[in-house]
Chain A
Amino acid sequence: MATIKVNGQQRDVSGIPADTPLLWVLRDHLGLTGTKYGCGVSECGACTVHIDGEAAQSCVTAISDIGDASVVTIEGLSENGDHPVQQAWKAHNVPQCGYCQVGQMMTCAAMLAANPNPNDDEINDGMWNICRCGTYNRIRDAVKTAAKEMR
Chain B
Amino acid sequence: MSNSLQHTTLRQWIENARRETAIDPGPTSRVARRDFLKGIAAGSLVILTAKNGDTIAARADDLGTDDSLSPSLFVAIEPDGTVKILAHRSEMGTGIRTALPRVLADELGADWNKVVIVQAKGDRRLGDQNTDGSNSIRFFYKTMRVAGATARTMLEQAAASQWGVNATEVSTNNHTVYLNGVKKKLEFHQLVEDASKLRTPEPADLRFKSPNDFQYIGRKFPIADLDDILTGKAEFGIDARIDGQAFAVIARCPVVGGVVESYDAEAAKVIPGVIDTIELPRFQGAPLFQQLGGIAVIAESTWAAWKGRDALKIIWQEGPNADYDTDKFIATLKDTVKANGQVMRNQGDAVTAIADADRKVSATYSVPHLSHAPMETTCAVADVKTNEAGDVLSCYLKAATQNPQAVQQAVGPALGIPNDQVHCDVTLLGAGFGRKSKPDYCVEAARLSRILKRPVHVTWTREDDFRHDYFHTISAVHCEAGLDTHGKPTGWLMRAAYPTIASTFAPGADAPATWEAEMGLTDLPYDVPNVRVEVGKAKAHTRIGWLRAVCHIFQNFAVSSFADELAHAAKADPFKFLLNTLGDDRHLDIAALKLGNRGADPKEYPYDIGRLKNVLTRAANNSSWERHAQLPKGKGMGIACCRSFLGYTGHVVEVSVSQEGVVSVENVWCSIDSGTIVSLDRVHAQVEGATIMGISQAMYGEMPMKNGRAIHSNFDGFQVAKMIDAPKAIHVDIVKNDAAPGGVGETGIGSFAPALCNAIFAATGKRIRDLPIKNHDLSWS
Q: Which A residues have a C-beta under 8 Å from some C-beta of B? A: 16-17, 20-21, 24, 27-29, 32-41, 43-44, 46, 73-75, 81, 86, 89-90, 93, 95-102, 105, 123-125, 127-140
Chain B residue with Cβ nearest A126: B723
Contacts of A21 in B (CB 8 A): 303
With A28-B303, A37-B377, A37-B459 as known contacts, state yes or no: A134 contacts B272, CB within 8 Å. no
Provide the bound-state CA to CA distance between A34 and B236, in Å.
10
CB pairs A–B below 8 angstroms (29 shown)? A20-B304, A24-B302, A28-B300, A32-B232, A34-B233, A37-B377, A38-B376, A40-B714, A44-B462, A73-B232, A90-B226, A93-B685, A96-B686, A97-B91, A97-B430, A98-B93, A99-B430, A101-B230, A128-B722, A130-B722, A132-B373, A132-B375, A132-B720, A134-B691, A136-B725, A136-B726, A137-B729, A139-B723, A140-B723
Q: How far is the CB of A135 from chain B (nearest CB, A)?
A: 7
Chain B residue with Cβ nearest A131: B375
Contacts of B247 in A (CB 8 A): 28
B275 CB–A CB distance under 8 Å? no
The residue from B226, B689, B716 contacting A133, defined by CB atoms under 8 A apart:
B689
Contact A105 B230 (CB under 8 A): yes
With A28-B303, A132-B374 as known contacts, state yes or no: A39 contacts B462, CB within 8 Å. yes
Provide the bound-state CA to CA distance between A15 and B691, in Å.
47
Contacts of B301 in A (CB 8 A): 16, 20, 24, 28-29
Contacts of B715 in A (CB 8 A): 39, 43-44, 130
Contact A99 B230 (CB under 8 A): no
Chain B residue with Cβ nearest A139: B723
Q: Would you list the 5 A-B pairs with minimal beta carbon distance, nearest first?
A: A34-B232, A134-B692, A99-B430, A97-B93, A98-B229
Most chain B beta-carbon neighbours within 10 Å: one of A28, A33, A86, A130: A28
- Interface of chain B residues 233 through 286 with chain A (CB within 8 A): 233-236, 238-239, 241, 247, 272-273
Contact A74 B690 (CB under 8 A): no
Contact A136 B723 (CB under 8 A): yes
Most chain A beta-carbon neighbours within 10 Å: one of B225, B227, B724: B724
Chain A residue with Cβ nearest B433: A132
Provide the bound-state CA to CA distance between A138 and B236, in Å.
22
Contact B375 A97 (CB under 8 A): yes
B147 CB–A CB distance under 8 Å? no
Contacts of B302 in A (CB 8 A): 24, 27-28, 37
B99 CB–A CB distance under 8 Å? no
Contacts of B574 in A (CB 8 A): none
Contact A41 B688 (CB under 8 A): no
Chain A residue with Cβ nearest B694: A134
With A17-B272, A132-B720, A138-B688 as known contacts, state yes or no: A93 contacts B230, CB within 8 Å. no
Most chain B beta-carbon neighbours within 10 Å: one of A35, A73, A81, A130: A130
Q: Is the interface of B mostly helix, strand, loop or mixed?
A: loop
Provide the bound-state CA to CA distance between A150 and B239, in Å.
31
With A27-B302, A93-B223 as known contacts, state yes or no: A128 contacts B723, CB within 8 Å. yes
Chain B residue with Cβ nearest A124: B724
Q: How far is the CB of A147 from chain B (nearest CB, A)?
A: 15
B interface bracket (residues with beta carbon within 8 Å of A): 35 or more
B361 CB–A CB distance under 8 Å? no
Contact B721 A97 (CB under 8 A): no
B92 CB–A CB distance under 8 Å? yes
- 1/0 contact trace for B703-719 toward A, CB 8 Å? 00000000000111000
Contact B238 A37 (CB under 8 A): yes
Q: How far is the CB of B671 from chain A (nearest CB, A)?
A: 17
The residue from A46, A123, A128 contacting B375, defined by CB atoms under 8 A apart:
A46
Contacts of A102 in B (CB 8 A): 229, 232
Contact B462 A89 (CB under 8 A): no
Q: How far is the CB of A22 from chain B (nearest CB, A)?
A: 10
Contact B238 A97 (CB under 8 A): no
With A81-B230, A95-B223, A137-B730 as known contacts, state yes or no: A24 contacts B303, CB within 8 Å. yes
Contacts of A34 in B (CB 8 A): 231-233
Q: Other CB < 8 Å A-B pairs besides A40-B463, A81-B231, 4 of them?
A: A99-B430, A129-B723, A130-B722, A135-B685
B21 CB–A CB distance under 8 Å? no
Contacts of B225 in A (CB 8 A): 98
Contact A81 B227 (CB under 8 A): yes
B87 CB–A CB distance under 8 Å? no
Contacts of B374 in A (CB 8 A): 97, 99, 132
Contacts of A24 in B (CB 8 A): 301-303
Provide the bound-state CA to CA distance between A99 and B429, in Å.
8
Contact A133 B730 (CB under 8 A): no
Contact A137 B230 (CB under 8 A): no
Most chain A beta-carbon neighbours within 10 Å: one of B91, B225, B459, B723: B723
Contact A140 B726 (CB under 8 A): yes
Chain B residue with Cβ nearest A21: B303
Q: How far is the CB of B751 from chain A (nearest CB, A)?
A: 16
Contacts of B236 in A (CB 8 A): 36, 99
B72 CB–A CB distance under 8 Å? no
Contact B238 A133 (CB under 8 A): no
B763 CB–A CB distance under 8 Å? no
Provide the bound-state CA to CA distance between A97 and B235, in Å.
11
Q: How far is the CB of B56 from chain A (nearest CB, A)?
A: 35
Contact B230 A41 (CB under 8 A): no
Provide the bound-state CA to CA distance between A33 and B272, in Å.
22
The residue from A89, A98, A105, A138 contacting B234, defined by CB atoms under 8 A apart:
A98
B94 CB–A CB distance under 8 Å? yes
Q: How far is the CB of A139 from chain B (nearest CB, A)?
A: 7
Contacts of A101 in B (CB 8 A): 229-230
The residue from B234, B462, B688 contacting A134, defined by CB atoms under 8 A apart:
B688
Chain B residue with Cβ nearest A32: B232
Contacts of A124 in B (CB 8 A): 723-724
With A20-B301, A98-B93, A132-B431 as known contacts, state yes or no: A38 contacts B462, CB within 8 Å. yes
- 1/0 contact trace for B353-379 toward A, CB 8 Å? 000000000000000000001111100
Provide the bound-state CA to CA distance between A128 and B725, in Å.
10
Contact B714 A43 (CB under 8 A): yes
B348 CB–A CB distance under 8 Å? no
B70 CB–A CB distance under 8 Å? no
- 1/0 contact trace for B73-96 toward A, CB 8 Å? 000000000000000000111110
Provide the bound-state CA to CA distance between A96 and B548, in Å.
15
The residue from B227, B232, B375, B692 contacting A136, defined by CB atoms under 8 A apart:
B692
Contact B428 A98 (CB under 8 A): yes
Provide the bound-state CA to CA distance between A95 and B692, in Å.
14
B681 CB–A CB distance under 8 Å? yes
B461 CB–A CB distance under 8 Å? yes
Contacts of A127 in B (CB 8 A): 723
Provide the bound-state CA to CA distance between A116 and B110, in Å.
43
Most chain A beta-carbon neighbours within 10 Å: one of B433, B686, B720: B720
Contact A133 B724 (CB under 8 A): no
Provide the bound-state CA to CA distance between A101 and B234, in Å.
11
Chain B residue with Cβ nearest A81: B231
Chain B residue with Cβ nearest A73: B232
Contacts of A37 in B (CB 8 A): 238, 302, 377, 459, 462
Most chain A beta-carbon neighbours within 10 Å: one of B230, B233, B688: B230
Contacts of B429 in A (CB 8 A): 97
Provide the bound-state CA to CA distance between A74 and B428, in Å.
18
B410 CB–A CB distance under 8 Å? no
B727 CB–A CB distance under 8 Å? yes
Contact A44 B724 (CB under 8 A): no
Provide the bound-state CA to CA distance between A46 and B222, in Å.
23
Chain B residue with Cβ nearest A86: B230
Contact A96 B230 (CB under 8 A): no
Q: How far is the CB of B271 from chain A (nearest CB, A)?
A: 9
Contacts of A74 in B (CB 8 A): 231-232
Provide the bound-state CA to CA distance between A100 and B301, in Å.
22
Provide the bound-state CA to CA distance between A37 and B690, in Å.
23
Contacts of A129 in B (CB 8 A): 722-723
Chain A residue with Cβ nearest B690: A134
